[in-house]
Amino acid sequence: MAFQGTKINPKRFDKSQLKFYLFLIPMALFMVLPVVYIINQAFKPLDELFMFPPRFFVIKPTFQNFSDLWRTSSTTGVPMTRYLFNSIVATSLTVFLTIMVTAGAGYVLSKKTFKAKNWLFSVNQLALMFVPIAVAIPRYLIIKQTGLTDNFLAHILPALAMPVGLFLVKQFMDQVPDAVIEAARLDGANDWQILNRIVIPLVKPALATVGILTFQVSWNATEASSLYITNETLKNFAFYLSSLTNASNSIAGVGMAAAAGLIMFLPNLLIFILLQSKVMNTMSHSGMK
């Protein structure tokens, strides 16, 4: 029973929402400050980058940092565009394959009945406890034994095992009624048709979340380039950025590092803005059945 004069979650703006805006707007402005700083830092000329006391906003914006970054090459003579191309290809393939693997594994664990099903899901849950650095040595030994050293696939294959993504998708698929799947089977649909035409459209929020998480991990990953690959032409942009930052003992290197940081940051920001509603939907349903 609602109290008279009280509006809960009104569809349009109501004066009862003012108390929430008075709290949320200052919080939002405070949380967006790092984004504004990264953008301003990338467009600062060198004299503003070394200004003391430092300024938050750029006074005379310039594209010189981006021009220097575009023209520069690594110490081995590999251009920056090569690293960027490697990152785009590796990230795109990783996101696509991870979504397909996660959707297929989630469907099997959610809607199929077989021995060791619960045990396999428990192994996936156990994997959530380990941070990547804890399994760095076993992962390196596996990659070396499988012959993936100095191979472009070293950027992709290790990232396909995503325990948190499988957990989210499986929990989301548990909410799909079994009656819908049984009806499709009675109509002659096989498992691939059921997954592709029925289940995947119903769990798009969860798959979008997996895509975002995979993109962020793959786009910012430096492990493969640092540990598994020695061929400079196969390394990615995140590794180039880290090496540029570490070697930026010159004045020009600081400006290039700021520009490269913005290039690394913007794709993560844009993809999250576009899909953030699906992420919230997934998190609110992942533990419900």
**What is the reported pLDDT for 251?**
64
Phi-psi domain of 150 (left: phi exceeds 0; alpha: psi -120 through 50; beta: other):
left
**110, two tokens:** 């959610």
**What residues contact residue 199 under an 8 Å CB cut-off, 6+ apart?**
103, 107, 111, 173, 176, 181
Residues 6+ apart with CB under 8 A from 48: 55, 58, 59, 60
pLDDT for the residue numbered 4: 47
| Per-position pLDDT tens, the chain of length 289 | 444 444 555 566 667 777 778 888 888 888 888 888 888 888 888 788 887 787 888 888 888 888 877 776 555 577 878 888 999 999 999 999 999 999 999 999 888 888 888 888 888 888 888 877 888 888 888 888 888 888 899 899 888 888 888 888 888 888 888 888 888 888 888 888 888 888 888 888 888 888 888 998 899 888 888 888 888 888 988 888 877 765 555 666 777 788 888 888 888 888 878 777 666 665 555 544 4
Q: What pLDDT score does 42 carry? A: 86
Q: What is the pLDDT of residue 249?
A: 54
Domain 68-285 fold is MetI-like fold (1.10.3720)
Bridge partners of residue 230, in order along the sequence:
none
How far apart CA 161 and CA 165 sit, in angstroms, is: 9
* Cβ atoms < 10 Å from Cβ of 171: 19
Spell out the domain ranges in the chain.
Answer: 68-285
DSSP states of 226-248 as a string? III---GGG--HHHHHHHHHHT-
Distance, CA of 199 to CA of 183 (rounded, Å): 13
Tokens (6 digits) for 176 = 């799909």
